[in-house]
């Protein structure tokens, strides 16, 4: 047996008082007593399927689950412990002082040895814990670990838990004294789901048996946990209305019985008395009477009775021929079925000894015209023992239970009344693969974690499921087992050619072995063959368990071999698809090599893995899987030399385009570049320029100050000039222009300092020399001229990315310079550039969308956003869409096209999920979620409104000072309470100010003076028709100029801002008494399903017509 990891149960038994006995007894007498004890141990442990690992003085160590797992090894170990204790107590030669202390524990071990000789070496913490439990047990006590108790709780009774301190363990262990086996196994019936058609087949077959008065046999086959017992229970429940039906039921125990006596005894009890209870010699009279009632003579009845009792081990005499015993049973069953319809059920037939299987096969040949239905429950292992099971038998049917569908498993989970988060529920559905027992055991594992106060972050494989599957795998013959293990390392699916190539690398294995092994695995339905020459695990959990059987060194070796084989297929059409697989196997190999106290050297050069990780990272980034791209590139960085780390950190920043990860990656690359002895000036200039543009062009939360832009720009320009790279110098000038744009002063007090720093920027970086001071607009105009030169330069060079970047800068400058026509034409020119990368194309859409938004062109924004969304579903990475989604949501909300927001929410959620923890990137979604919140508020969808408010709070973290203004207004917006709105500290941003002006106006309130002043100042810098319309309404409200308010409302409605216009007509109606305003607002509000505004309309409408005009509609 090669070294393997196995889930086993360890039993340690020790004799108490052995030292005192040694003092009292002669050595030969003591040896005799110990010999009897060892004999008991050997016989009992073997009978229960355990392996006697060793005798250590007066202690016994046994392992259950080696060399083969049975699926119930924890139960076998406890049954053996009880039997051993009883055998010692009942042995008349062993003195009363000869008592046992027993400890039992389950866990993973590493096992090596010769399975043919039963000689194993078992190591692992599970062994040590079992020994410590034995030492902690009282004389005559069996102490069981919590893990073993959980795996056997349905079959055994335990005393109250207590804690035992174990040397080497930081926390005490919870242990349980074993009291006894349950008189009847506790049956936990799950909800009946997905087996209605199978139930109907059983009911129909019984009806047919009774109507036709002929015997039928149904073999009900399914793997462990598939629902055989639950189906049978439902069937038996449905028979309550059949009082004349005689039911006899027997069960084949998995351990402790080497003959058919127990199940046959239960069967006889059911036939004679209607109860499946064991019978004794006292039943001889009843049995003889039964035969006489069937017409047999006294002599024949006695003979048949003797044969029946002999099969139960209750009658002495010569051993009868099996055929005679089979005939006696057949005649007994036929006679019972003639008196009343008879249903015979045999559970767990796969555990039956051969003698019982022979008897049942004889019964299948019954020809008598009697109403008899024989239902046989078994696992597929039965078909491995009896290849021709039921073949050529009349009235024999085989019903194989298929896995439940995913939807049926979801229904089953819903009926458990256990609250499961959506992600965990779907993980259970995925891993259970249609097996209801597996699904419910996974749920139970989660419940145990919750009861222990631990938050489940994933789903551990319960021992019950592990043991069940391990028992199937341990039945595999030698060639099939290593093939399944190789497949488990390869993944859920793998090409046949890969598995064959790795299989043949194993010593002593041939192509014939591969075909034999594969056919075996396909026959056992452990693997399934796909039409594309791909082999797939039939169950995810089978793969999990097969993988756990491999020792760490073996996993390392196989992962390395698979990665190397995949790399050899570089010229194949599937080469690119193999890239993440190659990286995965190298990653797993490295992880395994680094585990353990003694690290192993991976069997491949680190440069090979580095290349694989880099390629996988680039591929993931191109597909928009940014979190995955980051993980791959960080793994590559771990293996890289210092100069390579600079390149890889820069590559990581490039993959992210903007956000926290980009900034951190460029900063790390620059720091490592500075630490190099030989520094390439162009690399330094490029990194500085990327830092500047990332924290100016794209940064919302951490923009560079103008002073930082000057400092970094000076260094970058010096390096670019040293490198003599004209392209880099022009790209740097474009980057610096973004620093100028985002640092426009928000109030007059900042203007002087800004002018001085801007002059420094121009003097030292943009152009040399420049004299005198310059006004802000002069700086912007000078920068615009430089950007126009850059546009010409990059257009001539054919550099589309740099050209798009320069056009973006031109649009930003034109916004502050008030060049409205140029803003739109520049944005559309960017969109027309050919072959832009996805990130630059999306940014061009962002630019065009926000330009149109600021200019009030709402429909153009909606059309651009929908175009980007339709392309994103097919080809563009979702995280790039964050700003586009917000622009689309804002425009749709303001225009009253709220159905677009409803349609946008699923894409919004998917984008947020893919962005992950990047605070800056995800903050761009806040406007989109805010618009969804406004719609939910308007429609009074309270649950959705609260959900979105909670989500919005998470998008605006406390540690980000630039979001303070947004956080301050969020609670007021959430509660729709103007009293909670801050009265100062507003962010100088068009959309932020628009939201606040809208909020105050729609409540019929004058905006705070600081808010009006801030909006007026921003509007004076760059004319925004969007802000101007909302500002005009707010100003009219502030002065209570109703004529100006009416004109401003009409202008807003003409511009397509229907919700704001309709709501403001309510305010105008209340202030002026003009009820016609209500009728103009009503159809818009009804179309929008704006229940909040409609209720306000109804309140105003209910006021007396001669009521004095009011100041507020709140």
Mapping DSSP to helix (H, G, I), strand (E, B) and coil, where does residue 375 land?
strand
Cα three-residue angle 457-625-559, rounded to 5 degrees: 70
pLDDT score of 421: 76
Cβ atoms of 365 and 393 within 8 Å: the answer is yes
Cβ atoms of 1029 and 1056 within 8 Å: the answer is no
**Nearest CA-CA partner of 363 in 385, 390, 401:** 390
Name the pairing type of β-strands 396-400 and 216-221: parallel
Residues 6 or more apart in contact with residue 468 via CB below 8 angstroms: 71, 224, 225, 437
Residue 299: is it exposed, middle or buried by C-beta count within 10 angstroms (0-12/13-18/19+)?
A: exposed
Residues 6 or more apart in contact with residue 645 via CB below 8 angstroms: 637, 669, 672
Phi, psi (5° rounding) for residue 524?
Answer: -80, 0
**Nearest CA-CA partner of 907 in 610, 624, 642:** 624
Instruction: Please list the residues that pair with 216 across neighbouring strands.
Output: 373
Mean pLDDT for 1020-1025 is 74
Mean pLDDT for 732-751 is 72
Q: How far apart are CA 75 and CA 106, in angstroms?
A: 11
Place of tokens 């129909």: 204
**pLDDT for residue 402 is more than 60:** yes
DSSP string, 403-445: PPPHHHHHHHHHTTT----HHHHHHHHHHHTT-HHHHHHHHHH
Q: How is residue 775 annotated by DSSP? A: -
Q: Which of 283-292, 308-317, 463-472, 826-835 has the lowest mean pLDDT?
A: 308-317
CA atoms lying within 13 Å on the CB side of residue 494: 30
Confidence tier at 890 by pLDDT (50, 70, 90): very high
pLDDT score of 313: 77
Mean pLDDT for 559-567 is 93
What pTM does this model have? 0.75
Confidence tier at 54 by pLDDT (50, 70, 90): confident
Mean pLDDT for 1021-1046 is 89
pLDDT score of 771: 40
Q: How is residue 137 annotated by DSSP? A: S
Mapping DSSP to helix (H, G, I), strand (E, B) and coil, where does residue 1069 land?
helix
Instruction: Please list the residues that pair with 7 across neighbouring strands.
Output: 108
**Nearest CA-CA partner of 312 in 320, 365, 338:** 320
Q: How many helices (H) and strands (E) does the chain have?
A: 49, 17
Mean pLDDT for 32-39 is 87
Q: How far apart are CA 1096 and CA 1114, in angstroms?
A: 8
pLDDT score of 88: 92
Confidence tier at 752 by pLDDT (50, 70, 90): very low
Percentage above 70 pLDDT, the chain: 89
DSSP string, 573-616: TTHHHHHHHHHHHHHHHHHHHH-SSSPPPPSS-HHHHHHHHHHH
Q: How is residue 765 annotated by DSSP? A: I
State how far the alpha carbon of 724 is from the alpha carbons of 677, 685, 687, 1101, in Å: 21, 11, 16, 75
Mean pLDDT estimate for the chain: 85
Residues 6 or more apart in contact with residue 26 via CB below 8 angstroms: none
CA atoms lying within 13 Å on the CB side of residue 45: 25
**pLDDT for residue 512 is more than 80:** yes
Percentage above 90 pLDDT, the chain: 40
CA atoms lying within 13 Å on the CB side of residue 464: 18
Mean pLDDT for 273-278 is 64
**pLDDT for residue 943 is more than 70:** yes
CA atoms lying within 13 Å on the CB side of residue 339: 14
Place of tokens 């027993």: 102
Place of tokens 């559970």: 347
Q: Which of 426-430, 438-442, 574-578 has the lowest mean pLDDT?
A: 574-578
**pLDDT for residue 446 is more than 80:** no
Residues 6 or more apart in contact with residue 315 via CB below 8 angstroms: 306, 309
Cβ atoms of 1049 and 1064 within 8 Å: the answer is yes
Selected residue with higher pLDDT from 283 and 763: 283
Cβ atoms of 955 and 966 within 8 Å: the answer is no
Place of tokens 């959430």: 974
Cβ atoms of 981 and 969 within 8 Å: the answer is yes
Residues 6 or more apart in contact with residue 522 via CB below 8 angstroms: 528, 529
Confidence tier at 823 by pLDDT (50, 70, 90): confident
Axis-axis angle for helices 748-761, 776-797 (nearest 10): 40
Mean pLDDT for 840-868 is 87
Residues 6 or more apart in contact with residue 791 via CB below 8 angstroms: 803, 806, 807, 810
999-1016 per-position pLDDT tens digit: 999 999 999 998 898 888
Cβ atoms of 380 and 525 within 8 Å: the answer is yes
Q: How far apart are the first and last CA of the chain?
A: 81
Q: Which of 186-190, 585-589, 637-641, 775-779 has the lowest mean pLDDT?
A: 775-779
Mean pLDDT for 454-463 is 67
**pLDDT for residue 828 is more than 60:** yes
pLDDT score of 1047: 95
- 250-253, long-range: CB within 8 Å, 24+ apart, which pairs? 250/276, 250/344, 250/345, 250/346, 250/347, 251/276, 251/346, 251/347, 251/348, 252/346, 252/347, 252/348, 252/349, 252/350, 252/351, 252/352, 252/353, 252/356, 253/348, 253/351
pLDDT score of 1015: 87
Residues 6 or more apart in contact with residue 381 via CB below 8 angstroms: 350, 472, 475
* Alpha-helix residue ranges (DSSP H) falling in 762-799: 776-797
407-419 per-position pLDDT tens digit: 999 899 888 877 7
Mean pLDDT for 455-476 is 78
Selected residue with higher pLDDT from 373 and 968: 373
Cβ atoms of 1065 and 1045 within 8 Å: the answer is no
pLDDT score of 773: 39
Cβ atoms of 396 and 361 within 8 Å: the answer is no
620-656 per-position pLDDT tens digit: 888 778 888 999 999 999 999 999 999 999 999 998 8
Cβ atoms of 533 and 496 within 8 Å: the answer is yes
As a 3-state breakdown, the chain gives helix, strand, coil percent values, each rounded to 5, of 60, 10, 30
Cα three-residue angle 371-375-379, rounded to 5 degrees: 165
**Cβ atoms within 10 A of the Cβ of 720, count?**
24
**pLDDT for residue 180 is more than 70:** yes
Q: How far apart are CA 345 and CA 337, in angstroms?
A: 14
pLDDT score of 688: 95
**Nearest CA-CA partner of 850 in 951, 950, 943, 924:** 924
Cβ atoms of 162 and 133 within 8 Å: the answer is no
Q: What is the 3-state secondary structure (H, E, C) of 630-657?
A: HHHHHHHHHHCCHHHHHHHHHHHHHHHC
Residue 988: is it exposed, middle or buried by C-beta count within 10 angstroms (0-12/13-18/19+)?
A: middle
Cβ atoms of 942 and 975 within 8 Å: the answer is no
Name the pairing type of β-strands 173-181 and 156-158: antiparallel
pLDDT score of 724: 94
pLDDT score of 1114: 44
Confidence tier at 820 by pLDDT (50, 70, 90): confident
pLDDT score of 769: 37
Confidence tier at 897 by pLDDT (50, 70, 90): very high
Q: How far apart are CA 1043 and CA 675, in angstroms?
A: 69
Cβ atoms of 263 and 346 within 8 Å: the answer is yes
**pLDDT for residue 745 is more than 70:** no
């Amino acid at each position: 047996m090669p070294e393997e990891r196995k889930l086993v149960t360890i039993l340690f038994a020790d004799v108490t008082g052995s030292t005192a006995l040694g003092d009292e007894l002669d050595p030969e007498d003591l040896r005799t007593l110990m010999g009897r004890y060892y004999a008991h141990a050997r016989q009992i442990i073997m009978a229960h399927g355990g392996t006697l690992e060793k005798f250590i003085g007066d202690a016994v160590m046994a392992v259950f689950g080696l060399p083969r797992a049975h699926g119930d090894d924890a139960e076998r170990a406890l049954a053996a412990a009880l039997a051993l204790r009883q055998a010692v107590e009942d042995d008349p030669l062993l003195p009363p002082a000869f008592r046992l202390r027993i400890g039992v524990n389950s866990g993973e071990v590493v096992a090596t040895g010769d399975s043919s000789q039963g000689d194993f070496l078992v190591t692992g913490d599970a062994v040590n814990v079992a020994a410590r439990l034995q030492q902690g047990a009282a004389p005559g006590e069996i102490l069981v670990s919590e893990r073993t108790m959980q795996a056997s709780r349905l079959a055994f009774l335990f005393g109250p838990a207590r804690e035992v301190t174990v040397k080497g363990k930081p926390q005490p262990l919870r242990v349980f004294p074993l009291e006894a086996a349950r008189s009847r196994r506790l049956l936990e019936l799950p909800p009946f789901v997905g087996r209605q058609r199978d139930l109907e087949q059983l009911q129909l077959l019984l009806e047919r048996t009774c109507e036709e008065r002929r015997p039928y046999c149904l073999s009900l086959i399914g793997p462990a946990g598939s629902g055989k017992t639950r189906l049978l229970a439902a069937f038996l429940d449905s028979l309550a209305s059949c009082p004349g039906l005689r039911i006899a039921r027997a069960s084949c125990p998995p351990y402790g019985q080497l003959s058919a006596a127990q199940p046959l005894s239960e069967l006889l009890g059911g036939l004679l008395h209607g109860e499946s209870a064991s019978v004794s010699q006292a039943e001889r009279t009843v049995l003889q009477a039964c035969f006489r009632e069937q017409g047999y003579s006294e002599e024949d009845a006695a003979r048949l009775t003797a044969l029946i009792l002999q099969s139960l081990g209750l009658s002495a005499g010569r051993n009868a021929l099996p055929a005679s015993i089979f005939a006696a049973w057949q005649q007994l069953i036929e006679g019972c079925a003639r008196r009343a319809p008879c249903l015979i059920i045999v559970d767990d037939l796969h555990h039956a000894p051969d003698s019982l299987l022979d008897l049942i096969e004889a019964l299948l040949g019954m020809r008598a015209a009697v109403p008899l239905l024989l239902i046989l429950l078994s696992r597929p292992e039965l078909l491995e023992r009896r290849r021709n099971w039921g073949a050529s038998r009349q009235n024999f049917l085989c019903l194989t239970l298929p896995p439940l569908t995913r939807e049926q498993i979801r229904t089953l989970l819903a009926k458990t009344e256990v609250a499961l988060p959506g992600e965990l529920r779907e993980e259970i559905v995925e891993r259970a693969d249609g097996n209801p027992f597996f699904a419910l055991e996974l749920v139970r594992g989660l419940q145990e974690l919750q009861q222990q106060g631990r938050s489940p972050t994933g789903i551990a494989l319960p021992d019950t499921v592990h043991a069940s599957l391990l028992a199937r795998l341990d039945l595999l013959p030698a060639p099939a087992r290593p093939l399944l293990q190789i497949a488990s390392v390869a993944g859920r699916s793998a090409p046949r050619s890969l598995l064959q190539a790795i299989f043949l690398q194993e010593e002593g294995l041939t192509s014939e072995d591969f075909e034999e092994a594969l056919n075996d695995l396909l026959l056992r339905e452990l693997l399934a063959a796909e039409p594309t020459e791909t082999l797939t695990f039939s169950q995810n959990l089978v793969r999990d368990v097969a993988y756990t059987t491999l020792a760490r060194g073996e996993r390392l070796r196989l992962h390395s071999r698979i990665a190397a084989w995949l790399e050899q297929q570089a010229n194949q059409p599937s080469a690119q698809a193999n890239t993440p697989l190659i990286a995965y196997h190298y990653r797993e190999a490295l992880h395994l090599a680094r585990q353990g106290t003694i690290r192993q050297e991976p069997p491949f050069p680190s440069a090979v893995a580095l290349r694989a990780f880099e390629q996988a990272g680039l591929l993931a980034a191109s597909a928009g899987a940014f979190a995955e791209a980051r993980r791959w590139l960080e793994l590559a960085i771990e293996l890289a030399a210092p100069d390579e780390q600079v390149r890889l950190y820069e590559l990581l920043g490039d993959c992210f385009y903007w956000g926290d990860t980009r900034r951190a990656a460029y900063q790390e690359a620059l720091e490592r570049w500075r630490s190099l002895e030989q520094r390439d000036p162009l690399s330094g200039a490029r990194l500085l320029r990327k830092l500047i543009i990332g924290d100016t062009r794209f940064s919302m939360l951490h923009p560079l100050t103008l002073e930082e832009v000057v400092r970094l720009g000076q260094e970058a320009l010096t390096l670019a000039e040293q490198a003599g790279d004209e392209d880099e110098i022009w790209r740097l000038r474009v980057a610096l222009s973004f620093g100028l744009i985002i640092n426009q002063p928000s109030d007059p007090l900042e203007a002087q300092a800004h002018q001085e720093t801007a002059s420094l920027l121009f003097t030292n970086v943009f152009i040399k020399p420049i004299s005198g001071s310059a006004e802000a607009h002069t700086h912007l105009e000078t920068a615009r001229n430089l950007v126009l030169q850059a546009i010409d330069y990059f257009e001539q060079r054919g550099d589309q990315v740099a050209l798009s970047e320069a056009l973006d800068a031109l649009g930003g400058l034109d916004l502050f310079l008030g060049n409205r026509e140029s803003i739109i034409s520049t944005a559309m020119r960017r969109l027309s550039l050919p072959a832009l990368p996805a990130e630059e194309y999306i940014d061009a859409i962002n630019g065009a969308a926000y330009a149109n938004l600021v200019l009030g062109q709402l429909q153009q924004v909606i059309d651009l956003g929908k175009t980007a969304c339709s392309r994103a579903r097919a080809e563009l990475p979702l995280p790039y869409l964050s700003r586009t989604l917000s622009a689309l949501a804002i425009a749709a909300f303001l225009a009253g096209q709220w159905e677009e927001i409803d349609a946008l929410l699923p894409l919004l959620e998917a984008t947020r999920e893919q962005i992950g923890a990047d605070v800056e990137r995800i903050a761009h979604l806040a406007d989109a979620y805010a618009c969804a919140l406004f719609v939910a508020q308007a429609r009074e969808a309270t649950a959705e409104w609260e959900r979105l408010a909670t989500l919005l709070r998470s998008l605006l973290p406390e540690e980000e000072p630039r979001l303070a203004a947004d956080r301050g207004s969020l609670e007021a917006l959430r509660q729709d309470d103007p009293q909670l709105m801050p009265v100062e500290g507003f962010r100088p941003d068009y959309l932020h100010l628009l939201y606040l002006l809208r909020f105050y106006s729609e409540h019929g309130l004058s905006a705070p003076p600081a808010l009006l002043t801030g909006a007026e100042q921003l509007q004076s810098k760059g004319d925004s028709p969007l802000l101007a319309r909302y500002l005009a309404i707010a100003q009219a409200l502030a002065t209570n100029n109703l004529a100006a308010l009416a004109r401003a409302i009409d202008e807003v409605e003409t511009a397509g801002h229907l919700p704001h216009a309709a709501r403001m007509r309510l305010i105008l109606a209340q202030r002026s008494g003009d009820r016609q305003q209500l009728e103009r607002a009503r159809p818009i509000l009804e179309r929008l399903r704006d229940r909040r505004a409609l209720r306000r309309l109804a309140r105003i409408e209910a006021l007396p017509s001669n009521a004095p005009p009011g100041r507020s509609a709140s």
